[in-house]
Amino acid sequence: MQNIDTYDFTGKKAIVRVDFNVPLNENFEITDDTRIRAAMPTLKKVLAGGGSLIIMSHLGRPKKVDPKFSLKHIQAHVSECLGVPVKFADDCQKAQEQVAALKPGEALLLENLRFYAEEEGKPRGLAEDATDEEKKAAKAVVKESQKEFVKTLASYADCYINDAFGTAHRAHGSTALIAKYFPEDKMFGYLMEGEIKAIDNVLKNAQRPFTAIIGGSKVSSKLAVLENLLDKVDNLIIGGGMGYTFIKAQGGRIGDSLHEDDLMPNALEILAKAKEKGVNVYLSVQTLIADAFSADANTQIVPSNEIPDGWEGVDAGPKSLARWKDVIMNSKTILWNGPVGVFEIDKFAQGTLEIAKDLAEATEKGAYTLVGGGDSVAAVTKMGFAKKVSYVSTGGGAMLEALEGKDLPGIAAIRG
């Protein structure tokens, strides 16, 4: 494995996997270019080092060639950000001539990799009533043609850079399989390096006390994260919708709050394990409840284990927030994943806003703070705190899997 800072790009063609899966409006205009801007340091480094660029990405979830998901929509914006005109290859498997013509300092963007089933290595167009045998056979076929697909992409370049953290948890052609063609010339881009360092800062080298704040809607989607963190953290704050499963499991009344009855045993097990390992768990003690899931609902503040029927918990109450703030301010490492209320509705966003503020304050005091995973990232960004924490991850699913302790295929392929 190479290091992007020391690698000599002079006269080399670099194929770079980025995550340009940006949101587009109905006129195919980019509504948030964060992911494009996040890849720029890596792309610019190659050009400044005397190399040329072959940029590859997916966009959306097309199941066939579909102009709606063409990366052509973003070509002009990528050119603008990069500061050089970026050429476009209409077919990622037929770019040989354009690649051959690339000169140092030039860049070529390949059409959406997922126009080919081979990128994901999953069969498409299977009949709904396909038997297991048929599914297996179709998978074998696509896995076989995937080898050629990947080989073609690899044939374009002298070196491979993976800077797509957002898809690092997928073992796809361009995110993992391609790396083997570049045993001496593969490396992480700057965005990947930043994400890996952030993960290591919390999972491997955390300064203590280490506090994780886990919120969001469901215990089921965070169970593996909670279990992995129990071995690492000193304090675990559990908020948001998922907290009510824990409160109900302990015998509390949660009214109509979101919960998962089938996961109550798991919740109790987590609490028991935490006790065994000396991890302090801080559930919500006070809740803002509403009589409807809407902005004009009636609200009141009650103890989290005394929520009347007909009402549901929608945000953390002031007593919970004060208690959590105390824990946060006394921590040296803080990881936050998942909002502590229904932050999409302003009236129920106060708790999540307070957590964002607490994290900003703790960062200023010298703590290391990482915000990772879809909705908490949206929350800090919406609330204007993205620059006031130590690191905001760009990868939702990838970050979650990293926090579960999994080895991400996109990272392992470069290291291996």
CB of 343 or CB of 368, closer to ligand AMP:
343
Q: Give me the least distance between CB of 343 and ligand AMP, in Å please.
A: 6
Q: Is 217 in the site for ligand AMP (CB under 6 A)?
A: yes
265 cis-preceded (ω within 30 degrees of 0): no
Q: Is 252 in the site for ligand AMP (CB under 6 A)?
A: no
Residue number closest to ligand AMP, CB atom: 216
Among 121, 166, 189, 240, binds ligand AMP (CB under 6 A): 240
Among 123, 189, 194, 339, binds ligand AMP (CB under 6 A): 339
Q: Cite the DSSP H helix spans in 52-131.
A: 72-82, 96-101, 117-120
Q: Give me the least distance between CB of 201 and ligand AMP, in Å please.
A: 21
CA trace torsion 121, 127, 129, 134 (10° rounding):
-50
Active site residue 186: no
Q: Is 173 in the site for ligand AMP (CB under 6 A)?
A: no
Question: For strand 52-56 and strand 86-89, is the pairing parallel, antiparallel, or unpaired?
Answer: unpaired
C-alpha 105: how far from its chain's center? Answer: 31
Radius of gyration over every alpha carbon of the chain, rounded to an integer in angstroms: 23
Element (H, E) at 47: helix 34-48
CA–CA distance, 310 with 130 (Å, rounded to integer): 45
From the list 218, 253, 273, 347, the catalytic residue is 218
CA–CA distance, 178 with 385 (Å, rounded to integer): 37
Among 173, 189, 194, 341, binds ligand AMP (CB under 6 A): 341
Q: Is 338 in the site for ligand AMP (CB under 6 A)?
A: yes
CB of 231 or CB of 344, closer to ligand AMP:
344
At 236, is the secondary structure helix, strand, or coil?
strand
Active site residue 253: no
Q: Is 258 in the site for ligand AMP (CB under 6 A)?
A: yes
- Tokens found for residue 176: 């993992």
Q: Which residues of the chain form contacts with ligand AMP (CB under 6 A)?
A: 215-218, 221, 240-241, 258, 313-314, 338-339, 341-344, 374-375
Residues annotated as catalytic (active site), given as ranges: 35, 218, 374, 397
